[in-house]
Amino acid sequence: MRQRQAAGPDVRLYVLDTGLIECSDYAIFSPNAGPGVRQDMSVRSYLIVHPQGTLLWDTGIADAIAELPDGQRIIDSIVFKVPKTLRSQLSEIGVDPRNVDYLGLSHLHIDHVGNVDLLPDATVLLQKDEYAAGYGPQPGGAHPDPRDICRARPRPNPDRRRRSRRLRRRDRRAEITARAHAWASGPARQYAR
């Protein structure tokens, strides 16, 4: 039997390595890990190239950290490193960051928004609850400490369609860019720009 190939649009998915988190006390992320257990965690971003638009999911750790040979210490037990910048990876696959149509942000932690400034013209896609945590009456109040961020448990989400929000106005995207970095609290604030 002969298989028939369906003609379809050219859709490509790229997995980008956008940082490394070196953790010398993994118990802050996983209660089951004993104190002092070392664990490295990779940071990934995803680029989807589709005929109807290009989407980047998260932007990883700030490219500027790539210039620091020992990385950037965030708290005593966490060091951020960037072996290869997001900008260079996009360049290698022939994507100009200014031509990315959509920027999906899973949440506003600094290891996910480090390079939002590379995408000034992208439409930002962000959950309503995350938007409220970053821009509501008490911005950043939902994530006061990196150790508390890691222990947060997801709440049930019965209707994802109502929880997502597309921000279309250019001035709101610029605000997301600036504030996504600025509301990071504690030691991370010193380099999050």
Q: What does DSSP assign to residue 102?
A: E
Q: Count CB-CB contacts under 10 A for residue 192.
A: 19
Residues (pLDDT < 50) of the chain are 1-4, 142-193
For residue 118, is it within any domain?
yes
**Cβ pair 143, 133 in contact under 8 A:** yes
For residue 144, is it within any domain?
yes
For residue 92, is it within any domain?
yes
For the stretch 117-154, pLDDT in tens is 999 889 999 888 888 887 777 766 544 433 333 322 23
Residue 93 main-chain phi, psi, to 5 deg: -100, 10
Return the structure tokens found at 142.
Answer: 């939902």
Q: Name the domain count of the chain.
A: 1
Q: Please tell me the predicted confidence (pLDDT) of residue 99.
A: 94
Q: Please tell me the predicted confidence (pLDDT) of residue 20.
A: 97
**Cβ pair 63, 86 in contact under 8 A:** yes
CATH number at residue 149: 3.60.15.10
- Do β-strands 102-104 and 12-23 pair in parallel, antiparallel, or remain unpaired? unpaired
Q: Please tell me the predicted confidence (pLDDT) of residue 130.
A: 83
For residue 3, is it within any domain?
no
Stated pTM of the model: 0.69
- Do β-strands 78-81 and 12-23 pair in parallel, antiparallel, or remain unpaired? antiparallel
Expressed as residue numbers, the domain containing 65 is 12-190
For residue 1, is it within any domain?
no
